[in-house]
Amino acid sequence: MVRRMLPKAGESADGDRARAAALDAERALVERAQSGDRKAMGELLHRHGPALYATVLLPRLGNEAAAKDALSETYAKVVERIDRFRWQNVGFYPWLRTVALRVAIDSLRARKRTVLWEAEDLEREVNANESATPVDQAVQERRDREEAKARLAAALDAIHPRYARALKLRVLEERPREEVAAELGVTPATFDVLLHRATAALRKVLQKEPSDDK
């Protein structure tokens, strides 16, 4: 479970008050960190690290080791640049997320493996963030989760339904190979071939340039 640091905006008058108080507290924490307070810096990293990892880095990099490395790199950049951060009334998370996205871009370029996102997708996202009004952490986390699922759903919709079904059962629902093979009415060996073809179809869809659709 990813912790929600700030109460949602507009929940209620009490919720708004709690949110304002939480923002004030976070602002004080940021100011202390900017003046060199180690404990405050540690608290900020500790608060937001799990959300950055689970909703920003891991889905985009598609690899746990790469996401952990990227989180460390993000932390390193944050401590280097904390004095450049200027407070906005949506907390510290949006800035932290942008730093993480930039780290993820570098990581994707270095690895050159097919995942759901490409470095160019992230660049577009960072550019869009610069001109968009930042939203608070809870909203952004929800958007990130929905975006990951939507990308996957769109890719599965674009391939043969039998392949999509094989992938959903075996990969997304993590059901055993033999069970999925039985459900699809094939032998396990035939299911292996089916899954291999399904993976090739998925890769082809993900590697398709956005302009290919036009």
Binding site for another protein (CB under 8 A): 1-2, 36, 38, 41-42, 45-46, 49-50, 53-55, 58-59, 61-64, 68, 71-72, 75-76, 78-80, 113-116, 148-149, 151-152, 155, 159-160, 162-163, 167, 170-172, 174, 177, 189, 192-204, 206
- For another protein, give the closer residue by CB, 30 or 194: 194
Q: How far is the CB of 104 from another protein (least distance, A)?
A: 13
- Dist. CA 43–CA 12, nearest whole Å: 27
Half-sphere exposure (Cβ direction) of 164: Cα atoms closer than 13 Å: 11
- For another protein, give the closer residue by CB, 23 or 195: 195
Nearest to 26 by CA among 52, 54, 7: 7
Q: How far is the CB of 126 from another protein (least distance, A)?
A: 19
- For another protein, give the closer residue by CB, 68 or 102: 68
* DSSP sequence for 172-203: IS---HHHHHHHHTS-HHHHHHHHHHHHHHHH
Find out whether 7 and 25 touch, Cβ atoms under 8 Å. Answer: no
Q: How far is the CB of 200 from another protein (least distance, A)?
A: 5
Three-state DSSP class for residue 89: coil
